A = this chain, B = another copy of it.
Amino acid sequence: MAVDFFLDIPISFGHCDPAGIVFYPNYYRWFDRCFHTFLQERGGGHRALCAKLDARGIGLMDSGARFPAPASEGDLMTLSMTIAEWGSKTLRLAYEGQVSGRTVVEGFEVRGMFVERDGRLRAGDMAELRAALSGV
């Protein structure tokens, strides 16, 4: 599978916990930031896309991450994002973060596009989002 997006994350003091390694919820913040930066570059950003597609948000349904090795202050992590699968109502993203060629995090997000129809929030059709991200 080809990687669809990269984001460099320089690990800073404030990302780390008293054990001196990255406090793990930060990895999820970076997954989210990677996806939103991708939206920015490919589709004008989350807000513009939501306006265009009459959606409330492109939010999370499922997520996960495992941590084969620790990362800490001063490390430069390269986070890669791959579009793993477009479902009819879901988009699955795969992430991998490496520091000097060593994998420190491997994870995924499953996202839906939430639309308000007849006064209720529902998972919208992903074909429109896919088209808006132009040929991804």
- Report which A residues bind B (CB closer than 8 A): 10, 12-14, 16-21, 23-26, 28-29, 32-33, 36-37, 40, 45-47, 56-57, 59-67, 70, 72-74, 110, 114, 121
Contacts and interface: CB of A to CB of B under 8 A. Distances in A.
A18 B62 contact: no
A14 B40 contact: no
B17 A25 contact: no
* Secondary structure class of chain A's binding surface, majority of residues: mixed
A111 B102 CA distance: 20
Contacts of A60: 24, 67
Contacts of A16: 17-18
Contacts of A14: 17, 23, 25, 29, 32-33, 36
Nearest to A29: B25
B46 A13 contact: yes
The number of times this chain is found in the oligomer is 4
A103 B41 CA distance: 24
Contacts of A29: 14, 25
Given A60-B24, A63-B24, A18 B33 contact: no
A56 B45 CA distance: 22
A80 to B, nearest CB: 17
A24 B13 contact: no
Contacts of A67: 59-63
